[in-house]
Structure 1
Amino acid sequence: MSLGIGQPVPDFTASATGDTTFSLSEQKGHQVVIYFYPRANTPGCTTEGGDFRDRQDAFATANTLIVGVSRDGLRAQQNFRAKHGFTFDLIADKDETVCQLFDVIKLKKLYGKEHLGIERSTFLIDAEGRLAREWRGVKVPGHAQEVLEAAQALHAAR
């Protein structure tokens, strides 16, 4: 299934850090950034998470929540969050339910071998639950700032 810009994002509920569950429907009234990363505690994913963490206050000012998603288990996500001081929740999507909803599982190559993995992607959902922007095949440098500017512009347009 492919989500289109302006379309409602189907509700989902998933296990998240802090012994919580994250439900998209419970975030109505807030913009939501959902970013998908391949694996906790790897250099690119750590940098990306830190970039979002460092802009947390600016996202909050723009009425925007941040949540990260990977296929790591809950314990790995908890450790990743604690180790790097992330102030937002991380979803443990071991069964790939959320990944499939956003169509981020792609065929990737690593050391000449093909495997299915998460394509680094980010989605901005507006306060009514519609997809406002998407970024696929993300390169980490500058990405969190670009997402922040999009969230600020969306918030200002309300």
Structure 2
Amino acid sequence: MSFNLGDTLPDFTAQATSDQEIQLSQFKGKNLVIYFYPKDSTPGCTTQGGDFRDLYADFQAANTEILGVSRDGLRSHENFKAKQNFPFELISDKDESLCKLFDVIKLKKMYGKEHYGIERSTFLIDREGKLAQEWRKVKVPGHVQEVLEAAQALD
């Protein structure tokens, strides 16, 4: 599926860290950043999560919550979250339902081999549940600051 800016996103339910069942609708009245990343505890994903962690207070000040999503299981997520001291929850999307909803599974090449995986992508959803901005094929350096500025511009 694919959304256009301004589209209202369908509600979803997903399993997350801290034994939480997350629903999109629970964030009504807040902005929400959902970022998709390939794999827990890899260098780029650790840097990206760390950038969100380091700017978390600024996101909170902009009435914005953060959720990370990958296909890793909850145990892996709990370890990654604890080790990196992330103040936000990580969603386990083993069945790729959220990945498919946001159309982030792409054919990738690594070491000459092709495989399907998560294309690093970030979505900013406004307080009414509408897609305010999206970033695809994300490069980690400077990205989180850009997302923060977009979130601050919403309020």
Which position in structure 1 is the counterpart of 2:106?
A: 106
Query: Which residue number corresponds to residue 20 of structure 1?
Result: 20
Q: CA deviation at 1:141?
A: 0.2
Give the Å deviation of 1:58: 0.3
What's the offset of the Cα at 1:103? Answer: 0.2
Structure-1 separation of matches of 2:60 and 2:41: 25
How many residues align structurally?
Answer: 155
Q: Distance in 2 between matches of 1:98 and 1:79?
A: 21
Structure 1: unaligned runs, 5 residues or longer: none
Give the percent of matched residue pairs that are identical in Structure 1 and Structure 2. Answer: 68
- Structure 2 residues not aligned, in runs of 5+: none
How far residue 124 of structure 1 moved from its aligned partner, in angstroms, is 0.1
Partner of residue 29, structure 1 = 29
Matches within 5 A, 1:1-158: 1-155=1-155
- What is the CA distance between 1:128 and its match in structure 2? 0.1
CA RMSD across the alignment: 0.4
State the secondary structure of the residue aligned to 2:123.
Answer: strand
What secondary structure does 1:65 align onto? strand
TM-score (norm: length of structure 2): 0.99
User: How far apart, in 1, do the equivalents of 2:32 and 2:56 lie?
Assistant: 12
What TM-score, normalized by structure 1, do the two folds share? 0.97
Q: What is the CA–CA distance in structure 2 between the aligned matches of 1:21 and 1:37, rounded to whole Å? A: 20
- For 2:101 and 2:63, the matched residues in 1 are separated by 24
